Amino acid sequence: MNTVQLGASGIRCETVGLGTWAMGGWMWGGSDDAAAIEAVRASLDAGVSLIDTAPAYGLGHAESLVGQAVAGRRHEVVIATKCGLVWHTRQGAHFFDEQGQAVHRYLGADSIAHELEQSLKRLRTDYIDLYITHWQDSTTPVAETMGALLDLKRAGKIRAIGVSNVDVPTLTEYLRHGPVDAIQERYSLIDREIEAGLVPLCEQQGIAVLGYSSLALGLLAGPIDPARRFEGDDQRRDNPRFSAPNREKLQAFFGEVEPLRARHACSFAQLMIAWSTGRGRMRVALCGARQARQAIDNAGAIRLQLTDDDLQAIERSADRHLNSITQW
């Protein structure tokens, strides 16, 4: 199995992790709790150890499902969860409303301590492996935020520190105040912005890169019928990337890489995940799944080794067919 170390923490995980945003239900057309729990357990059985979640995924719902799913198996799991999107206070800046609650970006020290205790209860554990600032808070100095995280680490409540949705200056400021073990950023074949600045800095500092939305909300999981409709509050319903013309471009792209997929005897999703982890060292692809079969398929990418020629062939096909899809 291919593994990655999370910074200097000593924590190792496979190159594929399970993302649980969709399990929270909100913005994904609801949830099936039993199927979600089965998906977490299937991921563990298939060799995935890192389970990524957050309080904001369904206002604690995804964390609670993960807690149920890993009960009795905590020693097998690298749990990553987050802080900084809060609804227990109106401090910080309003970000969005979720299920009737106003959610704010806030990373004050007292708030982080409160959030951690709530996450520990939902996850049914007494420590978090990787604790990540979810979105950055312009109202709180990074020094205060990092000080709170270091206090939690010294207390044994967290083992490693991560940051998400940052730019180079913000990550540099975090590093002024303490070690960062991982960043978590959007990264896929059609979302490569972090390659210009954040990735080189992480490689220089020995920071692991966790790429979320590795399959671009499912867009890169394989051909999507242009007639398919997304219902309810599913965010893909109004996302221009999922337009019928874009789905036709994706069909052309997948048709072109089909011989490569067949040669490796893998799924299209596995091919896209392996591309993202193959584009540098210390990479982890976070892949969402709400059903066991999806989780098992994603986990299969851990064993898939693409050559430099394979990676370049995928990128040439993307350049021919997917350039316009990279724009929101």
Q: 3-221+270-304 falls under which CATH superfamily?
A: NADP-dependent oxidoreductase domain (3.20.20.100)
Contact call for residues 222 and 254 (beta carbons, < 8 A): yes
List, for residues 27-47, the tens digit of each pLDDT value.
667 779 999 999 999 999 999
pTM of the model: 0.94
187 noted as active-site residue? no
Per-residue model confidence as pLDDT tens digits over 236-245 = 767 778 888 8
Spatial separation of the C-alpha atoms in residues 285 and 273, rounded to whole Å: 6
Q: Are strands 101-105 and 85-86 parallel, antiparallel or unpaired?
A: antiparallel
Q: How far apart are CA 44 and CA 196, in angstroms?
A: 33
Structure tokens at 231: 């219902």
Q: Which amino acid is at 101?
A: Q
At 231 the pLDDT is 64
Going by pLDDT thresholds of 50, 70 and 90, the confidence category of residue 226 is low
Catalytic pick among 57, 106, 131, 174: 57
